[in-house]
A and B are shown apart, each in its own frame.
Chain A
Amino acid sequence: MSATIRLQLTLNGVATSLDVRPGRRAIDVLRDDLGLTAAKESCGSGECGACSILVNGEVRLSCLMLAAQLDGKDVVTAEGLGTAAAPHPVQAAFAAHGAVQCGYCTPGMTVAAVDLLARQPDPDREQVRRALSGNLCRCTGYGKIVDAVLAAAKTMAEEKS
């Protein structure tokens, strides 16, 4: 086992320093060490998207990232998007539009949706489906998730104007 290193990162908006073994997976550091359990592990091989986080504003799979790759980065997990008291419009829309069943894919889905809406604020259904195609859901059949993302896009556009 190699020694630990010190990582400096911005985590959900807070400057954070961590002493970790650099070869551990980012998801294990987030979940096991920091208790940030919104990112879930369901495959460990990049096939499901449940572990999605934002790194420097872009979607990343935290099961295929090493702790060392978090160094110097701006990292946002679903916890950093919003809270139950103050949810992100995407999170609120998922809850309001029936997009949540078991909810295990949901944090990853919301991260993918936020990533999409940052690049494409006014997507159509097909673009939403394409953007979420790396995030598996076994409960919903996806229709209500697409509804939720489109509703969030509308809310966000209204908030901007």
Chain B
Amino acid sequence: MTGPDAVFPRADALAKAVGAERYSADVTPPGCLWAGVRRAGVAHALITGLDVAAARATPGVVAVLTRRDVPGTNRQGIVHKDQPVLCGERVRHRGDPVALVLAESREALALALSRIDAAFSPLPGVFEPAAALDRDAPYVHPEHPDGNLLAYGLVEKGDAPTALADCAVTVSGEYHTPMQDHVFLELPNGTARLTPAGVLDMVVSTQAPFRDRFEIAHALGLNPWTIRVRAPYLGGGFGGKDGATVQCLLALAALNAGGRWVKMVWDREETFLAGYKRHAAVMRVTLGADADGTLRALTGSLLFDAGPYAHLSGEIMALALEHAGGPYRIPHTRLEGSCAYTNNPVGGAFRGFGVLQSSFAIERLMDALATRLGRDPAGLRLQNALGRGEPNAIGVTPEPGAGAAECLTAVLAHPAWTERAAWKRQAPPFTRRGVGVTCMQNAMGYGRGLPDAAAAKLELTKQGTFRIYNSVPDMGQGNASAFVTMAAQALHQSPEAFALIQPDTRHCLPAGSSSASRTTFTFGNALLGACRAMEAKLRARAALALLCDDPARLILSPGLVTDPATGAAVPLARLGALLPRDDRLCVDQFVMAVVENPPDTGRQFKLGFPHRFYSHGACLCAVEVDELTGRVRLGRCVVSVACGRVLSLEGVTQQVQGAAAQGIGLALFEDPALENGCMGAGDLSRYLIPTALDLPDIDCLIVADDEPTGPLGLRGMGEVGIHGPGPAIAQALFDAAGLHVTRLPVTPEDLLSALGGPE
């Protein structure tokens, strides 16, 4: 076993660094066709006319397809199938597609798309989730039985209303978190063709190749077993490729391309327009405590803007409710959640989904309570941090592990905290400084109701090396490389002995998506099972060659199986050459354990509720506010994390820093400027993510922890780091400038108003 100081260079890093790695977007078969979509550009309307004659007549155009050309249900969606592949009668947001063009060149495609004449009869739109739930609001889906209420849920523990009434002190707030775009750098894209054998062969930048087959098959009336999806390394995903982007449109294009390759790439503006986003949320919550700060009760309601299609809105809301109490001990809770259909962009998966929203609310409430009680915000959190074996806000006792208190303590020992007073005193002219620390948590896995499963295949090659058939896409988080590290350790081989086959539904075994901090845990466990089978097999087959009657005593070492009793050895290359292919393969599978006796609450949630495993962390942000402009600069950021044992310090640090950077972006920069369903910040000159000059170095602190059921003791942690910066920055801005932040992102304007301007 290797300690947390071990650094394993990522297996994928060098090929990517020299530009040799081929992403989906790098696949451009010679002579391929180009496909693209005409989008509505209006938020809510009936389609009254669609004249594609001029587009069809454009030189180089191969086909122009509309709703009438879509076989199957024309409905896509991960769980709830409510999103058309091509809209025929009605458009429900500005990015809805109405026609699909196939052309010989990018230029012909662009010209043809501009020549499609679409006529719309505008319908009244609904752009505020609260207004969407009014009785007389226009309906986004008139056939939906609950009007614009897509989903509702209630979680309860104890008797929160009564407990709240008895509290010595209560604090309330309304908190807003924004819609957020993933801004993965590899734009949504794919390449597809229909082979002569009738297989729809696709290479897609996707987080869920195995599920994609079913979604495409359902929408287009195909047999899922005739669809092959390959998922090379992704140029970022963050949840934004866990669901429909190009898949169905591209498949439809390939069905109409006469067997030729077709490529579809959304441009950046189209991705802002049509890609799904993190849900904006409005949370009204009340927290009650005893006079000594002991938490008693939490109540409130959370409202999510689902946009016009379900995606995973209900499941995301469930996760928000599950995390709404934070990593704190709260005996009585009552929290309602609603998702409203609107004509805004589609809400969907994004790193830390649901959790990010409700974390902001509970952490802000903790700060409000600290202010009310005249307490230090960190001390109040330590006092109430959930301990091992204690039930969380919905009554589930998570698997024991290091928790918020340990994580917070680690951050409080950092010089950025212990030396904060001096740092603040040294502020330059026109600058105010402040420091905030908050806690974070994120569950791992899908939760109850659907198997969080993966199957792994491992092959001994004829040359005596190994091939790992990875089933879970690597969107950059490094899971593929982690699999090499795990297998190399398990089989006592050098990492160079392993080749990785990236997800390919033809050659790899099925697994769930690359999401939910589950990837390394679930597939890793399956792979370790396959490694154990491989080790037993290699011993048994080597025993034949070594004339050894006790295979258990044989030892695996790089490239060899050795009998310590005789000193004789057989090279793996010889075993590889001898064994038939069927005998060179080992497979195993794993399903993540779920909560065994779930509390009788959240009955509306059939899928993904509740969760058994949590990773924790704490975050410090030190801010500088310019008094003249209200500009905020993040001076320091420290994040601690408890995520089981550390397989790769580099990998954990990468995830923590990257997640924190996205949390900082959401807190300070990323304002979608949504108005009447239109993103005012619809390109990269207006939707601003942090540049290298906008972020400090982010310190990552590892808290000692172990997860006995995890592969090599680890637990998933790809998401948890995103939750800290928003609330920590908010707390720091109160410290620096007395600003009560209730809404992200914080703008310079908010701060200039709070400071009142220097006079």
Contact = CB atoms under 8 A, between A and B. Distances in A.
The answer to whether any beta carbons of A and B sit under 8 Å apart in the complex is yes
Interface of A: 1, 28, 31-32, 35, 37-45, 47-48, 50, 77-79, 81-84, 87-88, 91-92, 94-96, 98-107, 110, 125, 128-130, 132-146
B186 A142 contact: no
Q: Is the interface of A mostly helix, strand, loop or mixed?
A: loop
B106 interface: yes
Contacts of A38: 18-20
B233 A142 contact: no
B236 interface: yes
Interface string B1-27: 000000001101111111111110110
Nearest to A38: B19
B337 to A, nearest CB: 29
B116 to A, nearest CB: 21
B10 A98 contact: yes
23 contacts: A37-B19, A37-B22, A37-B25, A38-B20, A40-B23, A43-B268, A47-B685, A94-B17, A96-B9, A102-B233, A102-B234, A103-B17, A103-B476, A104-B184, A107-B17, A132-B692, A133-B691, A137-B692, A138-B183, A138-B661, A141-B657, A142-B661, A146-B697
Interface string B654-695: 100110111010000000000000000001110001111101
B268 A42 contact: yes
Contact of B478 (A101, A130, A137, A142): A101
A105 B690 CA distance: 14
Contacts of B662: 138
B525 interface: no
Given A130-B693, A139-B658, A79 B185 contact: no
B698 A42 contact: no
Q: How large is the interface on B (under 10, 10 to 19, 20 to 34, 35 or more residues)?
A: 35 or more
Contacts of B657: 140-141, 143-144
A139 B691 CA distance: 12
Interface of B: 9-10, 12-23, 25-26, 28, 106-107, 182-187, 233-238, 267-268, 475-478, 650, 653-654, 657-658, 660-662, 664, 683-685, 689-693, 695, 697-698
Given A94-B13, A103-B13, 15 more contacts: A37-B19, A41-B25, A42-B186, A44-B268, A81-B18, A87-B14, A98-B654, A130-B692, A138-B183, A138-B184, A138-B185, A140-B654, A143-B698, A144-B654, A144-B657
B658 A91 contact: no
A32 B238 contact: no
User: Which residue among A40, A83, A99 has the maximum number of chain B CB atoms within 10 Å of its CB?
Assistant: A40
A99 to B, nearest CB: 8
Nearest to B10: A100
Nearest to A110: B17
A95 B684 contact: no
A40 B25 contact: yes
Contact of A40 (B28, B186, B237, B654): B186
Contacts of B237: 102
A139 B17 contact: no
A144 to B, nearest CB: 7
A44 to B, nearest CB: 6
A134 to B, nearest CB: 8
8 A-B pairs closest in CB distance: A38-B19, A102-B476, A103-B16, A104-B235, A141-B661, A78-B19, A37-B26, A47-B684
User: Which residue among B106, B233, B654 has the maximum number of chain A CB atoms within 10 Å of its CB?
Assistant: B654
Contact of B654 (A43, A101, A104, A138): A101
A102 B186 contact: yes
Contacts of A139: 236, 476, 654, 658
B473 to A, nearest CB: 11
A81 B20 CA distance: 12
Contacts of B233: 102-103
Contacts of A137: 185, 692
B18 to A, nearest CB: 5
A52 to B, nearest CB: 11
Contacts of B658: 101, 138-141
Contacts of B187: 41-42
Given A40-B235, A91-B14, A92-B14, A28 B185 contact: no
Given A101-B478, A138-B236, A84 B653 contact: no
A138 B238 contact: yes
A102 B17 contact: no
Contacts of B13: 94-96, 98-100, 103
Contacts of A135: 692
B28 A31 contact: yes
B20 A83 contact: yes
A122 B13 CA distance: 25
Contacts of B19: 37-39, 77-79, 106-107
B681 to A, nearest CB: 12
Contacts of A41: 25, 187
A140 B661 contact: yes
User: Which residue among B15, B20, B662 has the maximum number of chain A CB atoms within 10 Å of its CB?
Assistant: B20
A40 B187 CA distance: 10
Given A31-B28, A104-B235, A129-B692, A98 B661 contact: no
Contacts of A125: 697
Contacts of A1: 107
A140 B658 CA distance: 4
Nearest to A148: B17
A98 to B, nearest CB: 4
Given A41-B187, A104-B23, A144-B657, A48 B18 contact: no
Contacts of A43: 268, 683-684
Nearest to A37: B26
A137 B650 CA distance: 17
Contacts of B268: 42-45, 47
A46 to B, nearest CB: 9
Contacts of A50: 185
A31 B23 CA distance: 12
A65 B402 CA distance: 53
A102 B697 contact: no
Nearest to B60: A1
A105 B184 CA distance: 10
Contacts of B654: 98, 101, 139-140, 144
B558 to A, nearest CB: 21
B697 A143 contact: yes
A110 B660 CA distance: 23
Given A133-B691, A138-B236, A139-B236, A98 B185 contact: no
Contacts of B660: 141
Contacts of A138: 182-185, 236, 238, 658, 661-662, 689
Contact of B17 (A35, A100, A133, A136): A100
A82 B130 CA distance: 56
Contacts of B693: 129-130, 133
B692 A82 contact: no
Contact of A101 (B477, B664, B689): B477
B26 A101 contact: no
A104 B689 contact: no
B236 A136 contact: no
A124 B26 CA distance: 34
Contacts of A103: 12-13, 16-17, 21, 233, 235, 476
